[in-house]
Structure 1
Amino acid sequence: MTENITNCPHCAKPNRIPSSANGVPRCGHCHRPLPWIVTADDADFAEVAEAGTLPVLVDFWAVWCGPCRTVSPVLDQLAQERAGSVKLVKVDVDHSPHLAWRFGIQAVPTLMILIRGKLIARQAGAAPAAALRAWIDGALSRNHKVPGST
């Protein structure tokens, strides 16, 4: 399992964030939820993006894609805003051809929301922050159940 180092947006202390785990990552110092932003590829996508209970925003992108570079910081900000309630998983389609094929990625960026591995929303192309925020919140409010509820 790979780990990322993330500085807490509340107290600025560095924290190790695993790529996959159950629950919500929290700061070891102030105990507030941390933004969960990780990468995945063909080898670990199932473990990183589909196995957990937290809703996952998947960003299929490519290095050469201008709109991808534009939307990436917006997605990072949205993940910061939703720390503890959404996990952002970034997939480089050039390094993950099986995932690009599996999900039928024909344009980048393509965004998807998964809940417990089930695709609940999909959107292709870059959009402004307000539109992405509304898309994410709408998809989650229509489809998200609290873990453990029926």
Structure 2
Amino acid sequence: MHIVCPHCGAVNAVLQERLGQHPKCGKCHQPLFADHPVELQGAAFQRYIERNDLPVLVDFWAPWCGPCRMMAPAFAQAAQQMQGRCLFAKLNTEADGQTGARYQIRSIPTMVLFRGGREVARQSGAMGAADIQRWLAGQGL
């Protein structure tokens, strides 16, 4: 499987059976799976969602949004619990409005699930960690 390093952006080939063994990047030697959602924007966002073989769940949010701030700890908790099965990322729509507009983000927080660079599911509104995991289970994860 191909996994994009959240630290340096290098694409790493990792055997599927090694996903649970805390693999490290071949270039920068940092862990490939962060223990928190990865902050992305611009070209790094596109590379991350397109080049990862694992599904990527993106939280589109903004710092001024109260529900976004309330959901952040639950999103981070779900990221830890789903490590190795799904990658979690955040995109600040205030800092990168172009990407938010490209994906037609009309309300925040909005979570978008990507597989192979394509949107496969979307959910708007703040959710708890268990609700996020149930929603992902409904998407086949």
Q: Which residue of 1 aligns with 2:22?
A: 26
- TM-score, with normalisation over the residues of structure 2? 0.76
Q: Which residue of 2 aligns with 1:71?
A: 71
Q: 8 Å contact 2:78–2:130 — kept in the other structure?
A: no
- TM-score, with normalisation over the residues of structure 1? 0.72
CA distance in 2, matches of 1:123, 1:132: 9
| Larger RCO (CA under 8 A, 6+ residues apart) | 2
CA distance in 1, matches of 2:65, 2:118: 27
How far residue 26 of structure 1 moved from its aligned partner, in angstroms, is 1.6
Question: Which letter does structure 2 place at the counterpart of 1:115?
Answer: R
Q: 8 Å contact 1:20–1:52 — kept in the other structure?
A: no
CA distance in 2, matches of 1:134, 1:2: 25
Question: Which letter does structure 1 place at the counterpart of 2:106?
Answer: Q
Q: 1:120 to 1:73 in 2, by over 3 A?
A: same
How far residue 75 of structure 1 moved from its aligned partner, in angstroms, is 0.9
Q: 8 Å contact 1:36–1:83 — kept in the other structure?
A: no
Q: 8 Å contact 1:60–1:110 — kept in the other structure?
A: yes
- Following TM superposition, the consecutive aligned residue runs of length 4 or more in structure 1 with deviations greater than 6 angstroms are none
CA distance in 1, matches of 2:51, 2:69: 27
Q: Report Cα offsets for 1:62-112 as digits up to 9, x if no partner.
A: 000111111111111111011111111110001111111111011110001
Question: Which letter does structure 2 place at the counterpart of 1:50?
Answer: E
CA distance in 2, matches of 1:34, 1:41: 17
Unaligned runs of 5+ in 1: 4-17, 142-150
Pairing 1:55–2:51 present: no
Kindly report which structure 2 residues correspond to 1:1-150, keeping only aligned pairs within 5 A, or say none: 3=7, 18-19=8-9, 21-22=11-12, 23=14, 24=19, 26=22, 35=35, 37-141=37-141
Q: 1:69 to 1:26 in 2, by over 3 A?
A: same
Q: 1:135 to 1:54 in 2, by over 3 A?
A: same
> What number of residue pairs does the alignment pair up?
124
How far residue 36 of structure 1 moved from its aligned partner, in angstroms, is 6.0
Question: Which letter does structure 1 place at the counterpart of 2:113?
Answer: I
Q: Which residue of 2 aligns with 1:8?
A: none
How far residue 138 of structure 1 moved from its aligned partner, in angstroms, is 1.0
Question: Alignment RMSD, CA only?
Answer: 2.4
